[in-house]
Structure 1
């Protein structure tokens, strides 16, 4: 287990993920990848550094899956592609996965559906108990990570976008659940279905 801060600034980024999935499906060479991201600026970012960081994060998420999954991201409807990205983000980030499994699931069980920064801060403290080698983050870094996680939950529809964000059930597309179950990615399904 390794809790990392690499989810910061990492919402699901559907537009960018569709492009990265396309590059992966084309099996581009390292040189062609670099040209696409840094020269052609296919992600349409204002700086090369931002483009490289986002491309690297999205690629790291997507390579946890197979080409069949990349097709769902690139060609799927918006809800399906977002949910496929969510699954990849869970596979890539223990921090996100365990927040769903431990904190969000507990909130659903107790009926405490208004998700607050307190939930996130308490969760980060429990992470240190599970992973003694976890890097000690500043409060601002921890809060930024929490913002990214909350944004991801809002994007996939698990968190309402209101002044008091509340947890809610997500109705997943058949294609992504069939994909995960066929490949026995039970840990991802378990996290995605934190409301069960």
Structure 2
């Protein structure tokens, strides 16, 4: 089941779709983690300028894959269509960081449940206010950290086509792909289904 992990480190991370596909592909071919580091670095697969950055991003991809804790995630990230793999990546991020998990269920899932599909920065602000009450550490984060976290959440919504753009004020219809539906149910994480507009 989902483990609570509220980390402001999300400000340094992006959606990393291209990168996690590479990592999953190499894992799927039986490479060890050390071999994956070396291959990504020597072949410059991520197109990043520094070794430190490559290591950090590779570690983030591993953390997301590990957080799902289901073998199917590697195959889906590596081989599924871009639409399915993006949705799987969003779920992996949710599993790795409880900020994203709670936001996707409490804000986005609730909007789909109630069919109130308006969306604005106010929704994100209210979410962080309630999060700070629930998780004391959140209230200690700087204003710039909070601002970046809010931007990251909105960017994830754009990446996965919940929003047309970061300025959009209406959520688009979202379809939960069967592959991810099966993965989520096999984990017993049915709470997460709401984040993908699925309520049965």
Classify the TM-score, shorter chain.
0.7 to 0.9
Q: Which has the higher helix share?
A: 2
Partner of 2:129: 125
Partner of 2:94: 90
Moved more, 10-19 or 158-167: 158-167
Q: Quote the offset at 1:168 in angstroms.
A: 2.0
Residue in structure 1 matching 2:119, options 106, 114, 118: 114
Partner of 2:25: 22
Q: Quote the offset at 1:31 in angstroms.
A: 3.2
Give the conservation status (yes or no) of the 8 Å contact 2:119–2:169. Answer: yes
Q: Quote the offset at 1:162 in angstroms.
A: 6.1
Distance in 2 (CA, whole Å) between partners of 1:20 and 1:151 is: 22
Cα 1:185–1:110 change in 2 (3 A) is closer
Give the conservation status (yes or no) of the 8 Å contact 2:105–2:191. Answer: no
Cα 1:120–1:194 change in 2 (3 A) is farther
Give the conservation status (yes or no) of the 8 Å contact 2:175–2:196. Answer: no
Structure 2, unpaired ranges of 5+: none
Q: Quote the offset at 1:98 in angstroms.
A: 0.7
Structure 1, unpaired ranges of 5+: none
- Kindly report which structure 2 residues correspond to 1:22-171, keeping only aligned pairs within 5 A, or say none: 22-65=25-68, 66-108=70-112, 109=114, 111=116, 113-116=118-121, 118-134=122-138, 136-161=140-165, 163-171=167-175
Q: Quote the offset at 1:80 in angstroms.
A: 0.9
Moved more, 22-31 or 70-79: 22-31
Residues 37-70 of structure 1 show CA distances to partners (whole Å, capped at 9, x for unaligned) of 4343321212223222221212111112322211
Give the conservation status (yes or no) of the 8 Å contact 1:83–1:176. Answer: yes
Distance in 2 (CA, whole Å) between partners of 1:19 and 1:8 is: 22
Q: Quote the offset at 1:92 in angstroms.
A: 1.0
Distance in 1 (CA, whole Å) between partners of 2:127 and 2:162 is: 18
Distance in 2 (CA, whole Å) between partners of 1:48 and 1:165 is: 39
RMSD over aligned CA atoms reads 2.4
Q: How many residues align?
A: 195
SS of match in other structure, 1:6: helix
